[in-house]
Structure formats: C-alpha cells, structure tokens
Structure 1
Amino acid sequence: MGTVGTAAVQRGSDFARLSRRIAEAGLLDRRPGYYAARIGLVAGLFAGSWALFALVGDSWWQIPVAVLLAVAFAQVTLLAHDLAHGQISRSRRTSRMAGLLVGNLAVGLSYGWWMDKHTRHHANPNHEEHDPDVAPDILIWSQKQAEEARGIPRFIGRWQAFLFFPLLTLEGLNLKVSSFRALRRPSLKSRGLEGALLTAHVLAYLGAVFLVLPFGTALVFVLVHQACYGVYLGCTFAPNHKGMPVLTAEDELDFLRRQVLTSRNVRGGRLVNTALGGLNFQIEHHLFPSMPTANLRRAQPIVREYCERLGVDYVECGLFASWGQALRHLHEAGRPLREGAPSPGGAAGA
C-alpha cells in the first residue's frame, strides 16, 4: 500500500450502512427555503457591490469596494459549486442553465469546464494520477512529483510553501484563462454559449471599470479585485485536502475511506461556515456531494461517530491550523528539490 498504509481494506458495505442512516435522518432532502434565502443574500451582495462601485465613482475609495466585490464574486462561485453538485435543484438542465449564468456570466468562470474538473476531483481526491487538483502544473504535491518536476514547478517547488499565498493572488486570473482555454476542447458542451457568456462577462466587467475610473485607478481596482478573489477561493479550498495523505495507484481503498482519509474538516461557527460556503464540512460533503449545505452540519456527528466506530481517522482542526498543515505539506513535498537529491519516499503525508 501507499500513504494510508496496509490496514485499509475494501469494505464496500460500510458506506452503504452510513448512507442509509443519513437518508433515514432526512439529510439528503432538498432545502429550498435555505437556498432561496442564500441566493437572495448573495445576489444582494453582488448587486450591492456593483451599485456601491457606481456610487463611489472616481475615487481611491474604490479599493475597499474592490475587496468587497471579491467577497461577492467568491460567494457567487460557491453557489455555482452547489449547483454543480445538484444540491439546489434535482433538474440537471435547471442546474446547468443557472450555473452558466452564475459562473460564466456573473464571475467569468466556465461552468462546464469547472464541473468536469471538480467531478474528477471528487471521484479520486488527492490521487496523484487522477485528481486534477494535485496535478503538478505549478505547485508540486508529493516528493514523487518533486523528483519528476521540470520547468516552472521545479523552480517554484523549492520554496512553494512561502510562495503559496502570493501565488493565490493569480488564481482569479488563472481561472479565467483556463476557462477560455477550455473552449477549445470538443468535449465541452455548448462551447458557443459558454464562450459567448464568458466574453460578455469580460466586456461588461472591464467596460464598467474603465468607464467609471481613469486608467490608472481602474487598473489598480482590477488587480486588487482579482487578487483578493483568488486568495479568498484559495483559502476556501486549500484547507480541505492539502496536507492530507496523497494517494497513488498502490492505494486500493473503498469509497468511504478514499473520501474520509483524504479530507479534513475545519472547525468554526457561523462565520467560518458562511465564509467557506459549508466546505468546512468537507468530509461530509465528499461522502454526500448532493447533500444541501445546510444539512452538512447535522450530518457531521453521525459521520464522525460512524468513522470512530470503524477506526477510520476523522480529521478536523481550526482554520489557521489547516492552513499550517497545508503549508508544512508543501514545504515537505519540495524537500528533494532543496536537497538536490532523490527522495526515498513517494508521497508526503500530513
């Protein structure tokens, strides 16, 4: 076996028993009232941020507005995430159309591309060969990847833990570039519609900013907004898996263990829950991705008790501790590059 050890064995019925308990508790039922309220609040934040932008006008006070708008963009993106998982509507068509409006048009993120990428992540979280979120595009996530790294990942990998947060400032731009690049893929559904909505977003966004603000102020506004948006998203998604065991082809795990052992929950009250869009209950989300966000908190004690009874590690910690674990993991993964010698280990665990 690989990172998670030889004790992990296939027990397909374990998840089936847990799933029955969750279903009997009604936790897979839709929550239309919750989502109606949440959509209304997020829409109000999004529209209100743009209204405040227009009201402030030509002023350097637009910089705080750019930060507020970044929060609004991130919350809209989290709604697109819930749509992609079918948490809001059972209708795939309704979810897709809403996702295109929320993702492509509102924040400039290709809903189809991101949904495909995120689905592959859920199927094999933290798996070196199959999870696109741990592909060594810029950062490296294991010592095995470090040994094989070339080009930019090899250059950055030495000190990637120190560069992680600065690099997140580019994530907003990276998502937009990746969205437009995805339009070249024949496998992407409705490429014409996706492209038209992405183009409309860029034209409306840049048009509004450069129409209201002079060039220099507008440029700073865009840079601050996109940087804060990227950092917010990175700080939302990074605590969930980074620093947890990295799986390889040697790790043959059943569904329950594959999801639980590679995920981490983040403790916190309503503020953390709201800021992270419910993704702080990452273990429950990965086990039941279509479960409405509002039900994840209620599912947690059931899942935690069940995992403890099975002897499956159930990891949770505070937000800052989760970031610390992620950064230590990144630093350890880059150790072979700093030492300039092959590493005896394949994957860096938490």
Structure 2
Amino acid sequence: MAEPVTLEARGSDFARLARKINDAGLLNRRPVYYAVRLSLVLAAYAGCWALFWWVGDSWLQVLVAVPLAVIFAQIGFLAHDLGHRQVFRTRRPSDVVGLLIGNLGVGLGWGWWNTKHNRHHANPNHEDHDPDVSPAVIVWSTEQAARSQGLPRFVARWQAFLFFPLLTLEAWHLHIASFRALADPTTKRRPVEGALLVAHFALYLGAIFAVLSPGKALVFLLVHQGLFGVYLGSTFAPNHKGMPILTKDDKLDFLRKQVLTSRNVRGGLFTDVLLGQLNYQIEHHLFPNMPAPNLRHAQPIVQQYCEEIGVSYLETGLIDSYGQALRHLHEVGAALRT
C-alpha cells in the first residue's frame, strides 16, 4: 500500500506546489462523495446481475455483458482510489473494502495489483523500474524492440494495429497474474486473497453456467471479459503511452519525473466518469492520495505552476491521446519492419 504524499520536500519545486495544493484544501478527504459513488456502483453491479438472471438463457445476454463490463471497470477505478488511500486515511478500512470489491467483486488481486501499481508511481515510464512498460507482448521503446525475441518481436512490427485487439485479453491476464501472485511468499494475506479470488470465480462462473447453456455461457464470458479488458486498457493507455521513456541515465526530480511522463486528457463530466478521473493523470501522479473529485480543481493550479517554472505540461483530447500513443507504438516497431 502506498504511503500518502506528505508536504515534506521532494525537491524545492514540488514543495512549493504542495503548499499551494494544501492551502487550497485539495488533500482533504471527501467521505460523502465516496459514499455516494460506492453506493451507486454497487447498486449498478447488483442491478446488472439481477438483469442477467431475469433475461435467462437467451442470446440477449450478450447485451447484458456490455454494462456489466463497464461496472466491473468502475469497481476497478474505486479499488484504485482505495489503494492510494484517497477514500480512507488509514490502511485497514482501505484493505478491507479493497479486498471485497477487488478480489471478491471483480476477481483482481488487491495485494498484487497495489504492489505493481505503486512501483509504477515511483518510477513512471522508466524501462528498468516501471512494470507497466516492461516488454512483454508489447514493447515500448526502440531499445526494447531491438532486444525483443519470439512473440514480442513478431508483434512489435505491427503493434499499433494490434494494440486494441490485444486488450481483449487484458482482463484474463490480470486474473491469471492475481492467482500467480499467490505463489509468491512475499504476498501479504495470501489465504484471504486466495479465498476471495476463488469465491469470486466460483460465484461468477457458477451463475453464468447455471443460467446459460454452455455455448451461450462461453460467448458471454468472451464478450464480458473482452470488453472489461478493452475498457480498462483504454482508460490507462492515454495517460503515459507515447510519453518519454526514462532510463538509468535520466536524472529528474520528483516533480519533473511525474509531469514529463504523464499526459492529461481534457473533457467534461462525461470524460471524468468514463476515465475514472484518471484523465487528470499529471495531478494524480503528483498527489496520488488526493481524492479523485479534487483533481479537476488542482489541475489549473498545477498547470499554471508548471508554466511558471518552465516544465512542459501536456493536455490533449481523448482521440488525440490515443493517436499519440499508437503513433509511438508504430514508430517503435519501424526498425523491425524494415
């Protein structure tokens, strides 16, 4: 679990910005907001399963899989906020609710994901330390492309075109990684994590195969998990993909490391809800324990401050953010195509 950001100096530039943010009261908790948001999401979750039961053994269940995938991702956003202690100040309630909605609710390992995500926050877009840019199937830099072998090397040639199709497998990847983490002795609360993961899939698969015939059940699984993965991947892709990749030779202070590797996505209330307010990625990376609804109020303060100290601050539209990310992926694989 990440420790909350304090106002101690992380470099003088960040310390001055932190004082501005603190003076504006933007690090204060928002209990009413999160109580309402959690209630609405859980009500929608229950409503989708009630609709699933009511529709019964019908191909119309393919349509039910769509809102259920959206709700699964929205629960993932709430688990993300809990992991950063945006909801509760202390660890215990954050862990309890996170385990219930993460492991039991959507089948994603709370402990594993938090450890991985905190490593990303510590060194965003650093090819040696950020697990989100580790070369697996996708490669993120020309150096990684040159070193790639086997499947990653084959995929890298056309990875810009394959990126969204590959996201249909992302949810399965996260489920498998959650179970694999249980074999790691450093994983905390392994019995609890494992029991809740098993309970999720027993209930999830049990409900699907109890209501649907085997063929319809398999189609429902493919559509639901595929859309769940695409939605999750599509909310994280605009944030860092296509931004500078750091190496051990880059020596940046905390503020520049977070701002220069992040991209904001402009938009109104719809974009905020769609992306779980992670469209304010710069502000989130500077102040990860800031409650999500406060990020939009911090944005003009951070942007103006970056202009004052001469730090590049990138904000773009949603479609353009995908374009930038995909163009970067295509450029990375250029040498392999020739």
What band does the TM-score fall into relative to the shorter chain?
A: over 0.9
CA distance in 2, matches of 1:51, 1:326: 38
Q: How big is each residue's C-alpha offset from its partner over 1:272-312, in whole Å with a ceiling of 9 and x where there is no partner? A: 10011110000000000000001000000000000001110
Identify the residue that residue 327 of structure 1 maps to in structure 2: 326
CA distance, structure 2, for counterparts of residue 98 and residue 239 of structure 1 = 28
AA partner of residue 166 (structure 2) = L
**RMSD of aligned Cα (Å):** 0.7
How much has 1:336 moved relative to structure 2? Answer: 1.9
For 1:269-308, list aligned pairs within 5 A: 269-308=268-307
The one-letter amino acid of 2:331's match is: E
Separation in 2 of the partners of 1:151 and 1:185? 27
Please give the per-residue CA displacement for 1:80-123, whole angstroms capped at 9, x wherever unaligned: 00000000001101101111111100000000000000000000
Deviation of 1:166 after TM superposition, in Å, equals 0.3
One-letter amino acid of the counterpart of residue 272, structure 2:
N
How many corresponding residue pairs? 329
Deviation, structure 1 residue 240:
0.2
Distance, in Å, in 2 between the alignment partners of 1:145 and 1:35 is 40
What SS does the aligned partner of 1:183 have?
helix
Q: TM-score when scaled to structure 1? A: 0.93
The residue number in structure 1 matching 2:192 is 193
Q: Which residue of 2 aligns with 1:63?
A: 62
Structure 2 unmatched runs, 5+: 1-9
Match of 1:256 in 2: 255
Q: For residues 25-47 of structure 1, what are the alpha-carbon distances to aligned partners after superposition, in whole Å with 9 as ceiling and x for unaligned?
A: 00000000110111011111111
1:178-237 per-position Cα deviation (integer Å, ceiling 9, x unaligned): 101111111100111111110111111000000000010111001000000000001100
Counterpart in the other structure of 1:80: 79
Structure 2 matches for 1:22-61, cutoff 5 A? 22-61=21-60
- Distance across 2 between alignment mates of 1:317 and 1:194: 38
User: 1:180 matched to which residue of 2?
Assistant: 179
Q: Structure 1 runs of 4+ off > 3 angstroms?
A: none
Which residue of structure 1 aligns with residue 146 of structure 2? 147
Query: Share of identical aligned residues, percent?
Result: 66
Q: How does the TM-score come out when normalised to structure 2?
A: 0.97
Q: Structure 1: how far apart are the matches of 2:125 and 2:307?
A: 22
Query: In the TM superposition, what is the alpha-carbon distance from 1:150 to its structure 2 partner?
Result: 1.1
For 1:17 and 1:165, locate their aligned partners in 2 and report how far apart those are by CA, in whole Å: 40
Cα displacement string for residues 13-59 of structure 1 (whole angstroms, at most 9, x for unaligned residues): 00000000000100000000110111011111111111110111111
- SS class of match (2:43): helix
CA distance in 2, matches of 1:224, 1:14: 47
CA distance in 2, matches of 1:211, 1:222: 13
Specify the alignment match of 1:267 in structure 2: 266
Which residue in the other structure is 1:228 paired with?
227
SS at match of 2:183: coil
User: What SS class does the counterpart of residue 94 from structure 1 fall into?
Assistant: helix
In structure 1, distance between residues paired with 2:93 and 2:37: 17
Tell me the residue number matched to 2:309: 310
Could you report, residue by residue, the CA deviation over 1:152-200 in whole angstroms, capped at 9, with x for unpaired residues? 1111111000000000000011100110111111110011111111011
